[in-house]
Structure 1
Amino acid sequence: MKRFIYLFIVAAGCCIGCTTPTESLNTTAAIVPGKELQENPLLQYVISSAINVHQQTMSTLYGNAKAYEYAKGHGDGKYPQGAVLYEVTWHQQNDPTWFGAKIPGKPAQVTVVKFTDDAQHQIQAAVYTGAPLHLQKTIAADAPQVQQLLKTPIAVSP
Structure 2
Amino acid sequence: MCFPIHKGEGILVSQGKTTGQSSTYQHYESRLGVDGVKEPYNHFHTLVELEPFWWVNLGQVYKIQKVVSTNRNACNQCNDRLKKMVIYVGNSLDTCQMKLCGQFIGPAAPKQIIVTPCFALPEGQIVKLTSVNTAAPDYFHLSEVEVYGF
TM tier, shorter chain? 0.3 to 0.5
TM-score relative to the length of structure 1? 0.31
Larger-Rg structure: 1
Whose strand proportion is higher, 1 or 2? Answer: 2
TM-score relative to the length of structure 2? 0.32
Ranked by relative contact order (alpha carbons within 8 Å, sequence separation 6 or more), the top structure is 2
Whose helix proportion is higher, 1 or 2? Answer: 1
